[in-house]
């Protein structure tokens, strides 16, 4: 579980650079431009969560509500600093997100996970179990539509309904 000194909160635009560094340092997530993370913090703060310990960002979840289906939230990235792995930080970030009043109309979480990412598969399976709901998996994005040939198929995980 996260430590007592860890704070889970909405991001501020000033967090963008440190979030970019956190994503970069994981060396497993797709790294977007620094500007992208600034925009997430400025315009999507209600659906993103930062984990902060001793004034350092040690975890981040980026998400947004589907523009055509507001009951569905897409979780894009979940990042946890190496120093915090195995402590339940990722689960805490996701639970913080779904309990926010701004997300009260959300009944489904959607995310994409590559077949080799067993940690993310376990994280979202645990989330579905904790929310008392089901999880459906479908192949969504085939490798041939990515600009490089070294990307796995992205599978969509749909968790819900809950609340």
Could you list the pLDDT tens digit for every one of the 163 residues in the chain?
A: 666 689 999 999 999 999 999 999 999 898 999 999 999 999 999 999 999 999 999 999 999 999 999 999 999 999 999 999 999 999 999 999 999 999 999 999 999 998 888 999 999 999 999 999 999 999 888 878 888 767 788 899 999 999 7
pTM score? 0.91
Q: What is the pLDDT of residue 2?
A: 65
What's the confidence (pLDDT) of residue 109? 97
* Neighbour count for residue 113 (Cβ, 10 Å): 21
Note the helical H segments in 27-133. Answer: 34-43, 89-99, 118-130
The three-point CA angle 25-41-21 to 5° equals 15
Q: Based on C-alpha coordinates, what's the Rg of the chain?
A: 15
Distance in angstroms (rounded) separating the CA atoms of residues 81 and 46: 22
Residue 110 near residue 156 (C-beta atoms within 8 A): yes
The confidence score (pLDDT) of residue 35 equals: 96
CATH topology of domain 6-159: Aminopeptidase (3.40.630)
Q: Parse the chain into domains and list their residue ranges.
A: 6-159
What is the predicted pLDDT for the residue at 140? 82
Q: So what's the pLDDT on residue 4?
A: 66
């Amino acid at each position: 579980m996260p430590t007592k000194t860890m704070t889970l909160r909405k991001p501020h635009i000033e967090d963008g650079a440190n979030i970019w560094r956190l994503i970069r340092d994981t060396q497993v997530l797709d790294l977007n431009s620094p500007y992208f993370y600034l925009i997430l913090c400025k315009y999507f703060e209600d659906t993103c969560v930062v984990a902060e310990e001793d004034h350092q960002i040690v975890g981040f979840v980026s998400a947004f509500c589907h523009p055509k289906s507001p009951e569905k939230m897409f979780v894009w990235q979940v990042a946890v600093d190496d120093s915090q792995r195995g402590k339940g930080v990722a689960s805490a970030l996701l639970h913080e997100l779904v309990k926010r009043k701004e997300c009260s109309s959300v009944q489904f979480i959607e995310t994409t996970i590559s077949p080799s990412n067993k940690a993310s598969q376990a994280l979202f399976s645990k989330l579905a179990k904790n929310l008392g709901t089901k999880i459906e998996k479908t192949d969504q994005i085939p490798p041939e539509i990515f600009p490089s040939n070294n990307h796995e198929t992205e599978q969509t995980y749909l968790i819900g309904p809950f609340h």
